[in-house]
Amino acid sequence: MKINKKKITIRFYAELNDFLPQQKRKKRFVHTFIDRTSVKDLIESLGVPHTEVDLILVNGKSVSFRYLITDGDDISVYPVFESLDISDVQHLRPKPLRNPKFICDVHLGKLTKNLRMFGFDVYYKNDLSDEMIVEISLTEKRTILTRDVGLLKRSEVTHGYYVRNDDPEKQTAEVLQRFHLHRLIKPFTICLDCGNKLVRVAKKDIIELLPGNVRQHQNKFFYCVSCKKIYWAGSHFNNMKKLIKTYLILFNK
């Protein structure tokens, strides 16, 4: 019995091409199918997570993820638009979360510390399953940061981002730029170890906990009420200040 295959043409734009094999990037290509399926399932079968998509045009008209593809359709898939006004068409991504909070997968420990250094609320544990990450993301309204495309393809995920770089410093710059966080930076307000807020503490209240050289030379201290860690303006503090300054220079270029 001969099976009649159907065809659509499709093109992905801008950074969505990161998920495609080289021969399908930045060009319109033909895709064959047998059974009708949703455009969301089609897009994810080609490797692109739905969390990265903000607009789909089929034959020039905006459609939802539920649209069932039809033989001969011409499909264009776009990421989030930063400068182009598409208010008259159907956005597919949920509105950005008002207060940016994140949850990182188990492979992004260094990125977690860097974002906390900038003052951002990032949930991280090195033993979280995908199910736990999704549950925490939904319950606490956190955006998932991950290097696992499969995690972002889970149907329950509403806010997620695939981190392109594998170098932690480049990852940090990427996330700061992607979510326009540079105006929200509040350095040294979050504990790097547990992610809870730091409070200013008087030297006299913690002096018995300080190493001798720190007692002698430091006078400004911050304290984490959760994990009891104490921070002071030593060499590590100064190195972090230099790193923050470097990122801010990059933003202002």
Q: How many whole angstroms separate alpha carbon 102 and alpha carbon 31? A: 35
Tens of pLDDT, residue by residue over 35-46, are 889 999 999 999
Average pLDDT, the chain: 88
Tens of pLDDT, residue by residue over 112-128, are 999 999 999 999 999 99
Q: What is the pTM of this model?
A: 0.81
Tens of pLDDT, residue by residue over 132-142, are 999 999 999 99
Task: Count the Cβ atoms, other than its own, within 10 Å of residue 8.
Answer: 19
Task: Look at residue 81 in the predicted model and tell me its pLDDT.
Answer: 61
Would you state the structure tokens that stand for residue 131, as one six-digit string? 């199910």
Would you state the structure tokens that stand for residue 49, as one six-digit string? 């997570």
Please say whether the beta carbons of 184 and 175 come within 8 A: no
User: Would strands 29-33 and 6-12 be described as parallel, antiparallel, or unpaired?
Assistant: antiparallel
Contacts of 20 (CB under 8 A, 6+ apart): 12, 46, 47, 48
